[in-house]
Amino acid sequence: MAASHTLWMGLVLLGVLGVLQTRAQAQPSLQPNFQQDKFLGRWFTSGLASNSSWFREKKKVLSMCTSVVAPTADGGFNLTSTFLRKDQCETRTLLLQPAGPPGCYSYTSPHWGMVHEVSVVETDYEEYALLYTHAESTKGLGGQDFRMATLYSRVQSPRPEVKEKFSTFAKAQGFTEDAIVFLPQTDKCMEEHN
């Protein structure tokens, strides 16, 4: 009896350690030698993947938006995004504050009031950037952690290789094919904002 109890406890412990190890591996690494000055400027939000119910409900009506990244005095960013909502252009600015090593930032969601961590996982600065956003669960999200992968592109039509890179990245973060969307282009709200 004691041997089977010990075996059972050992299996439970291995399971817990396996889950902890899997969760730790799920956090993507940061862009090596991230250069904030090269990341500044205009980007198009070309691809998204998320586990949020809001995203699943709205993903078919989302369209590409522009985001302008500008530096702040504390080493962070102002991220100003302009997007189409109910046939009108809306602009929102988030303050991304440094939250660790270069390429890691955080902001507080104006809607949920929770802190989101944003990581620049990979970028070549001239063509694309892969970002990963994570926030711990709150009651407002039904106890589920918020996760999102984002593809930023310097052009409205990213190359197929860039789209494939994003799909591979999103799947590596645990997103399924149906949770990945490439946002359709629109002529509305695409003018440059500084």
Output the pLDDT for position 102: 94
Q: Is residue 41 part of a domain?
A: yes
Q: Is residue 98 part of a domain?
A: yes
Q: Is residue 5 part of a domain?
A: no
121 φψ region: left (φ > 0), alpha (ψ -120 to 50), beta (else): alpha
Q: Which are the catalytic amino acids?
A: 65
Q: Is residue 11 part of a domain?
A: no
CB 172 within 8 A of CB 28: yes
- Residue burial 159-191, b: 16+ Cβ < 10 Å; e: rest: eeebbebbbebbeebebeeebbbebeeeeebbe
Per-residue pLDDT of the chain (194 residues; tens, 9 = 90+): 444 333 333 333 333 333 333 333 356 899 999 999 999 999 999 999 988 776 777 667 677 888 999 999 988 999 998 887 777 788 989 899 999 899 999 998 877 778 889 999 999 999 999 999 998 765 554 566 889 999 999 998 999 999 999 999 999 999 999 899 898 777 777 664 44
Contact partners, residue 108, CB within 8 Å, separation at least 6: 114, 115, 116
Q: Is residue 157 part of a domain?
A: yes
Q: Is residue 31 part of a domain?
A: no
CB 116: neighbour CB atoms within 10 A?
19
Q: Is residue 40 part of a domain?
A: yes
The total number of structural domains that make up the chain: 1
CATH number of the domain residue 95 falls in: 2.40.128.20
Q: Is residue 4 part of a domain?
A: no
56 to 48, 130, 181: CA distances (angstroms): 11, 20, 10
Radius of gyration for the alpha carbons in the chain, expressed in angstroms and rounded: 19
- Residues 41 and 48: their CA atoms lie apart, in Å, by 20
Q: Could you tell me the residue range of the domain that residue 138 belongs to?
A: 36-182
